[in-house]
Structure 1
Amino acid sequence: MKAYETKDIRNIAIVGGAKSGKTTLAEDMLFEGKVISRRGSVDDKSTVSDYRPIELERQNSVFSTVLYSEFNGKKLNIIDAPGFDDFVGEVAVSLKVVETALMVVSAQNKVEVGTEIAWRYTNKYNTPVIFAINHLEHENSNFDETVRQLKAQFKGSLSVCQYPVSVGAGFNAVIDLLKMKMYKFAEGDGKTEIVDIPDSEKDKAEEMQATMIEDLASSDEALMEIFFENGTLTEEEMKHALHDGLKTRELFPVFCINAKHNWGVNRVMEFITNNAPAPNEMPPLKTVDGGEIACDPNGPINAFVFKTSIESHLGEISFFKVNSGTISEGTDLLNTKTSTKERLSQMFSMAGKLREKVSTVVAGDIGGAVKLKNTATNSSLIEIKGDLVEVEPIEFPEPKYRVAVKAINQGDDEKLNASLHVMQKMDMSLHVDYSKELKQLIVGGQGELHLITVKWQLEHLENVEIEYITPKIPYRETITKSAKSMYRHKKQSGGSGQFGEVHIMIEPFTEGMEFSKEFPKRGEEVVELEWGGKLVMINSIVGGAIDQRFLPAILKGVMEKMEEGPLTGSYARDIVFYVYDGKMHAVDSNEISFKLAGRHA
């Protein structure tokens, strides 16, 4: 692969609803860029993008896949994102590092949940959007209704740049309103014949072009003046309007494709390379401390790791985007999170399992690196002696669905835990926690499908049979009446020993309660418990029976005991206890002695 300058790079995320044809479109784009010589298909389990075992099994994308293509003198970094909302974390990953979203919408299913999710993330990241209407060959497809729904749902200025001559079984041509030509597609090979618009379509084409031109002109005051003066815009003026309007999210171009037959994809790629913004044309990137990073290949190096993948033949791969500077093979960089040095000794442009070794990665480009020891997703890499500049991290959604998981074979517990944490490294929308309270391993995901895929991978790739069970209910315990207790901790083992004696009274605690008059109140400490409720300690010691410095140890001992209540082993809460007497030893008393005495009392 030749070396590309920043201005000749286009970063694209293919997003949209499930089964809308995103992976097939990605395959077409690799074929058009001659990265592959033959197009695979999802049905045949032969696409470059869906190559992982779970994706081959389910025949849908589960992870985002980083790809590249070359077209029209430009390098296209393409990220194919899943469409099911269970894998929303991959959409967040994909849209974090691109300048354009290519949103695929099925003319059959129209606006779907996956479409809405992707749109929300483009809003969050202020990402330009190009719509590609697919499935126009399907019987129940409706182009006009799809466009109407998009306009109603997303309240944006959709610029319809193409429309189909017909839909359903007869779909084989589109009218291009930018070129004012008809693109006629050949069955089988996807080759396009560009011809004059037939008389039967001229009136409709002219009417729709006039609407499109008015939309384009309204996005720019200077162009609006030209439009009022001339009544139209030239092709160059339209190109200028589309480029600027796309970049500022004032315009959202709409194209027509048939991804299955590779119809219209070449034209979409032509539009992207000519009109979509290069990385250095977008606003500077925001940093954690409120600063900015300009996309300058001559600036200080700053790279952001947005994805981690683990491949059997390569090990751990860190996918990164260079925000500033140029990284050369063998460069030593500093991880701002771990303060450790990383050497980027092997860098690649990746296309699924395919990879091409590269010696440099310039600002705006995306690469993959192997053998980074202490670098995970959301890490920023900078020059060793550079300013500590950290990119705002990807915000992954909180789990919507939680289950407890256990290995069917007892000997697999350790392997299960290790495997889940490896999976969590690859998918940061997956949460894995051991609940000390419930004594269960809890897995949190974005939905049932998310957790089904986790189970499949554990059983088929890690050979760990598991079962999901409902998490235990996190009960809470408390007391209903007062009681007195004492405990003497004494230990003698040669030399200095341990001694501490504590007398306490406990009773239920309620807000605004009146404390017992039985003992004097010399001090009070209120603890807000992590598991809810309060623990209150009243110091009622008189005559120096226990030194004041041992009271925090007593409190700590009581708190430890409250982590495991006597009835169900659940956390205890809302208790007040009075330390009213005790004994200590001039030599043997220490904090550990009184902590243990408080715990057992």
Structure 2
Amino acid sequence: MMAFRVCGRLAYLGILVRFGSLERGRVTAMRVYDTPSIRNVAIVGHSGSGKTQLTSAMLFDAGMVNRLGMVDEGTTVTDFDEEAIERKHTLAATASYAEWNKTKINVLDTPGIANFLSEARTALGVSDAAVVVVDAVSGVEVQTEKTWAEAQELGIPRVVVLNHLDRERASLTRSLTSLQDVLGRIIVPIQVPIGSEKSFRGVVDLITMRALLFASDSDGKPSVEDIPDDLIASAKTARETLIEMVAEADDNLMEKFFEAGTLSQEELEAGLRIAVLAGQVAPLLCTSATLNIGVVPLLDA
């Protein structure tokens, strides 16, 4: 596992950061990737939304480290200096990488504190996509808006991660309303949560219409099951909204949608990719990075 300070273009990243101990992470043998198989992804958002914890869970689920680092314990890969550990806040943009499905993902964890917004801007400037992390309790906050606007100005695709869904007063409905009111209706869920607050245990994938349930041991590996009966109706409604948004982004899909009243799974997947790359849809995923719920689907996305 490697981590770098971000400075300038990603191709000119600085010196390899040394870890305090191998418990923080382990160096893995990295294969050589050609450019089309490399993705630079900036993790941005307001302070306290869970960006560093999400990065930690991504690295763990990808097998880059042998334990799930925790912000509260000071054991994450990207918050490695004493001041960041003491404050429990990221103070500089830091890059790590994950190898997933034959792709190297350079993950750029950024500060959410206003004084360090320039670090997020630098990371966005060298990224292929932005993962905008939002606290499911607080909804849209100041730095959410600023980093969103920066990514929009740069013209890079955006994915919204609604995090902390295991916390008291966490709400997809309230957060989605906040997001769409402030940032635009292009934000559309591709998942809905299973359970709420302390009972949050997984997500319904609106593309495959299958339930992904996660064990309580934080291993991050979902079991694929049928959608719970009490969520079938709401999941179908959410999927219809997703299909309509995707169809609007492509004339051919819009024609098929008008003819058939829906899209096939293959058409939905292909259309979603087109819409996201064009900046016409920003998919929303549901997670609890602390419990490592919903992170593997984010890597798959």
- Please report the TM-score for the alignment, with normalisation by the length of structure 2: 0.88
Question: How far apart, in 2, do the equivalents of 1:76 and 1:170 lie?
Answer: 31
Query: Distance between the aligned counterparts of 2:185 and 2:233, measured in 1?
Result: 26
Unaligned runs of 5+ in 2: 1-29
Q: Is contact 2:120–2:147 with CA below 8 Å preserved after alignment?
A: yes
The partner residue of 1:224 within 239, 254, 273 is 254
1:57 shift after superposition: 2.0
The CA distance in 2 between the partners of 1:232 and 1:7, in whole Å, is 32
Note the C-alpha offset of 1:35: 1.3
Where does 1:446-465 land on structure 2 (aligned, <5 Å)? Answer: none
Aligned amino acid, residue 34 of structure 2: E
1:477-525 deviations in Å (ceiling 9; x for gaps): xxxxxxxxxxxxxxxxxxxxxxxxxxxxxxxxxxxxxxxxxxxxxxxxx
Say whether residues 1:209 and 2:239 are aligned partners.
Answer: yes
1:197 is aligned to 227
2:287 is aligned with 1:257: yes
Question: Which residue number corresponds to residue 145 of structure 1?
Answer: 174
**Residue type matched to 2:52 in 1?**
T
Q: CA separation in 2, counterparts of 1:128 and 1:34?
A: 26
Query: Contact (CA 8 Å) 1:186, 1:192: kept in 2 or not?
Result: yes
Q: Which has the higher strand share?
A: 1
**Is contact 2:220-2:296 (8 Å) kept?**
no
Partner of 2:271: 241
How many residue pairs match? The answer is: 271
**For residue 171 of structure 1, what is the aligned residue in structure 2?**
200
Aligned amino acid, residue 223 of structure 1: L
Residues 214-250 of structure 1, C-alpha deviation per residue, up to 9 Å, x if partnerless? 1110110010011111221122211211111111110
Q: Distance in 1 between matches of 2:32 and 2:75?
A: 29
Structure with bigger gyration radius: 1
* 2:160 corresponds to: 131
Shift of 1:156: 3.8
What's the secondary structure of 2:266's corresponding residue?
helix
SS at match of 1:222: helix
Paired residue for 2:147? 118
Post-superposition Cα deviations, 1:35-57, rounded to whole Å, max 9, x if no partner, equal: 11111111111110001222122
Cα distance in 2 for partners of 1:187, 1:178 equals 25
Moved over 6 A (4+): none
Is the CA contact 1:66–1:79 (under 8 Å) kept in the aligned structure 2? yes
Helix, strand or coil at the partner of 1:144? helix
- 1:140 shift after superposition: 1.2
Deviation track 1:183-203 (CA, whole Å, cap 9, x = no partner) reads 111102333111011222211
Name the counterpart of 1:92. 121
Amino acid at match of 1:263: I
> 1:157 matched to which residue of 2?
186
- Where 2:213 maps in the other structure, the secondary structure is strand
**Per-residue CA distance 1:295-337 (angstroms, 9 max, x = gap):** xxxxxxxxxxxxxxxxxxxxxxxxxxxxxxxxxxxxxxxxxxx
Q: In the TM superposition, what is the alpha-carbon distance from 1:26 to its structure 2 partner? A: 0.5
1-structure distance, mates of 2:132, 2:255: 32
Please state how far the C-alpha of 1:124 moved relative to its aligned partner.
Answer: 2.0
Query: Which residue pairs with 2:45 in the alignment?
Result: 16
Deviations 1:518-537 (CA, angstroms, capped at 9, x unpaired): xxxxxxxxxxxxxxxxxxxx
- CA–CA distance in structure 2, aligned partners of residues 74 and 132 of structure 1: 21
CA distance in 1, matches of 2:99, 2:287: 20
Structure-1 residue corresponding to 2:25: none
Q: Is the 8 A contact 1:32 1:71 kept in 2?
A: no
Q: For residue 66 of structure 2, what is the amino acid of its counterpart?
A: S
- Report the alpha carbon displacement of residue 174 of structure 1 after superposing the two structures with TM: 1.5
In 2, Cα distance between equivalents of 1:69 and 1:42: 19
Q: What RMSD, in angstroms, separates the aligned Cα atoms of the two structures? A: 1.1
Q: Select which of 263, 266, 285 maps to 2:296.
A: 266
Identity %, equivalent residues: 35
Rounded Cα–Cα distance in structure 2 between residues aligned with 1:171 and 1:225? 38
For 2:43 and 2:293, the matched residues in 1 are separated by: 17
